[in-house]
Amino acid sequence: MICCLSTIYFVKRGMNFTQPAQPSESQAFNERRGMWIDYVSERTEMHPTVRLIGIWLARRINWRTDDTWYQVSTIAIRVGQSPRTVIRAIQELEKAGLLLVRRDGRRGTRTAVNRYALLFPIGPKVTWVSPCQSDMGVTLI
């Protein structure tokens, strides 16, 4: 296998073909997510449970889709808190501009699942940008 800039070249049965180098995309995502986790973990004005739930969600974000989806009851079981505590924590993260929540249309049912995406602070002036905002028609600045 020969590496050349952003493309990995493979030789298979005498045929050359190229495949985009995926690790660089996932590495960039992991760096952004790590910065988000560091930022949230250092927010001393937030309750530790809120930070725990934010970090738990961040660790489960899919780098290809830039979001994750879990039922509130599942999050509550995994972090050892009540569902109501999880709901309050998610609302606080959303109010702080750190989490984007796309609510399921089946609210109030046992099968409702929200989608969560991280909002990233960038630059000297805090500006919030989300990779998934293009599919929502939302501009967050």
**Stretch 99-111: mean pLDDT, rounded?**
77
Residue with tokens 């599919």: 135
Residue 103 in domain: yes
What total number of domains does the chain contain? 1
Helices (H), 70-119: 72-79, 83-95
Distance CA 79, CA 72 (A): 11
Residue 2 in domain: no
Q: What is the pTM of this model?
A: 0.68
Its sign, for the CA torsion 74, 77, 79, 82, is positive
Residue 67 in domain: yes
Distance CA 19, CA 123 (A): 33
* CATH code of residue 52: 1.10.10.10
**pLDDT band at 24, cuts 50/70/90?**
confident
- Provide the domain limits for residue 48: 24-135
